[in-house]
Amino acid sequence: MYYMLYNSQFDGSRCVAVVTGIDRRSENPKTGPLVHVWFLSADHRPNTYEDYGICGDCPWSGDRGCYVRLSTCCTIWDRWARGGYTDISGILPEHTRQYVRYGAYGDPGSMHLTSWEQLHAALAPRAWTGYTHAWAEPRCRYLRQYLMASTTRRDDPIARADGWNTFMVVRTDKDAEKSIKVWKDYGTIDRCKADVYGLTCRKCMLCCGAGRRMTARTRTVVMVAHGRMAKRMVIA
């Protein structure tokens, strides 16, 4: 397992990106066996009330529906704090070219361009998934080619107009179908393959941003909120 220190572009605080799942396969049933990158505050254990440096203005931070199990984040943070991980500069060639999920916790948008490029180049993933809630911030625009903008029905058109491929969370199946009907003329719009076909992200890998050759025609993936926090999620 590897780590990389960086300073948050949300508030300048010290943060750490921790890479897990390389030597031990992840058992997450939704994502399948991906390598996970966790963005954590370096100076305290994960706590959604105090993690502005890595969560930014995520609408689900605090008690507003964050679906990540904090106990897992704390276990990872504790192990990193005890010196249990290797600096990313020492990554072994056989640990690159994997299928990666950026943001098992925290927002990749917390990274400045230089830190992001360093991390992405070190991992050199074969394919990846990733999302940012900070898509409206001009300093995060560089991430359009790598990540999906996390949106709701209210702000999805704004993100698309800015060239993002988007990942829109809606409350119900009916909302999902309604969105597909309304917006199919403006770009490609699909239901999340996990929702519809029960695929894992590892088999799908659709949520990988707009790519190097961004076009005017964007892609949106629609997912119905699920999991233990779904009822509490703030969804506009």
Stretch that binds ligand SF4, among 52-60, 82-90, 115-123, 191-199 (CB under 6 A): 191-199
Given 16, 66, 207, 225, the residue binding ligand SF4 (CB under 6 A): 207
Spell out the residues 6+ positions from residue 12 whose beta carbon is closer than 8 angstroms to its own: 53
What distance in Å separates the CA atoms of residue 64 and residue 95, rounded to the nearest whole number?
Answer: 36
Q: Which is nearer to ligand SF4, 29 or 138 (CB)?
A: 29
Q: Which is nearer to ligand SF4, 52 or 99 (CB)?
A: 99
| 192 scored as a contact of ligand SF4 (CB under 6 A) | yes
Given 70, 74, 158, 199, the residue binding ligand SF4 (CB under 6 A): 199
CB of 183 to ligand SF4, least distance (A): 16
Stretch that binds ligand SF4, among 65-73, 78-86, 173-181, 188-196 (CB under 6 A): 188-196
What distance in Å separates the CA atoms of residue 216 and residue 214, rounded to the nearest whole number?
Answer: 7
User: Is the Cα dihedral 105, 152, 33, 88 positive or negative?
Assistant: negative
- Please count the other Cβ atoms lying within 10 Å of the Cβ belonging to residue 88: 18
| 68 scored as a contact of ligand SF4 (CB under 6 A) | no
**Beta bridge mates, 148:** 131
Q: Which is nearer to ligand SF4, 140 or 222 (CB)?
A: 222
197-200 contacts, C-beta under 8 A, 24 or more apart: 200/29, 200/30, 200/31, 200/32
Segment 127 to 186, residues that bind ligand SF4, using CB under 6 A = 129
